[in-house]
Amino acid sequence: MIDFEIMNTALKIVWIKRQCQNSDSSWKTLIEHFFREHGGLSFLLNCKYDVKLLNLNNVPPFYHAILKYWQENTPIILEDNTHKQNEIIWNNKNILIDKHMIYLKQWHRTGIMYINDLLDENFNLLSLDKFQRIFQLHVPFTAYYGLISAIPPSWRRTIKRTEIPTENDNASQEPPLSRISPPVLSMQQL
């Protein structure tokens, strides 16, 4: 007897993984277009988003359902990050400004993705001046300090007590999406 729920789960996971592979397939263009204001679907699926906080007004119901499904079925995978400095800033349900998740395309394009990108070698948050020099971004102090204050205070305290990571810690960290495989179906379930 086929367990349709398990089969549906497996098909959705395979679809999501295929979507996020680094190929230039033309069928992905439209999907990425719908999620461009969040960095694209491939990026968004690696974030700790909350589908209720995303602006999905112009997104087809199927993609909305995929995001909701992904959020409901991957919390353990995305929660295994023990070092808060390795948290992705963008589309993070824990980093909110005016009860909205944040995605700043220009900042993301300059290489700002993790909280670690906002820290100096001693785990102190960068001053606005140093931030602007490093990333060649000229932003109002309200934008920068607004983002800093959106990081939960408990995370900032945890970061202060963290050991110094090895060089390129974020670069070597495998995105959570690539560690997921579809459920294995037994012959009885097929």
Whether residue 63 lies inside any domain: the answer is: yes
Whether residue 51 lies inside any domain: the answer is: yes
Read off the DSSP letter of residue 116.
G
- Expressed as residue numbers, the domain containing 130 is 85-172
Whether residue 106 lies inside any domain: the answer is: yes
Read off the DSSP letter of residue 38.
G
67 and 117 fall within a common domain: no
Tell me the pLDDT of the chain (190 aa) as tens digits. 678 887 877 787 777 777 777 666 777 777 888 888 888 888 888 888 998 998 888 888 888 888 888 888 776 544 545 578 889 999 999 999 999 999 999 999 999 999 999 999 888 899 999 999 999 999 999 999 999 999 999 898 888 776 554 445 544 444 555 444 444 433 343 3
70 and 20 fall within a common domain: yes
108 and 143 fall within a common domain: yes
Cβ atoms 14, 182 nearer than 8 A: yes
Whether residue 11 lies inside any domain: the answer is: yes
Whether residue 103 lies inside any domain: the answer is: yes
90 and 38 fall within a common domain: no
Whether residue 67 lies inside any domain: the answer is: yes
Final residue before a domain boundary, out of 19, 49, 79: 79
Domain count, the chain: 2
69 and 90 fall within a common domain: no
75 and 106 fall within a common domain: no
Phi/psi-derived region of residue 130, left when phi > 0, alpha when psi is between -120 and 50, beta in every other case: alpha
CA dihedral sign of residues 106, 108, 110, 116: positive
63 and 104 fall within a common domain: no
Label the pairing between strands 100-101 and 96-97. antiparallel
What pLDDT is attached to residue 160?
77
Task: State if pTM tops 0.75.
Answer: no
Question: What residues contact 162, with CB distance under 8 A and at least 6 apart?
Answer: 83, 84, 85, 123
13 and 72 fall within a common domain: yes
Final residue before a domain boundary, out of 52, 79, 106: 79
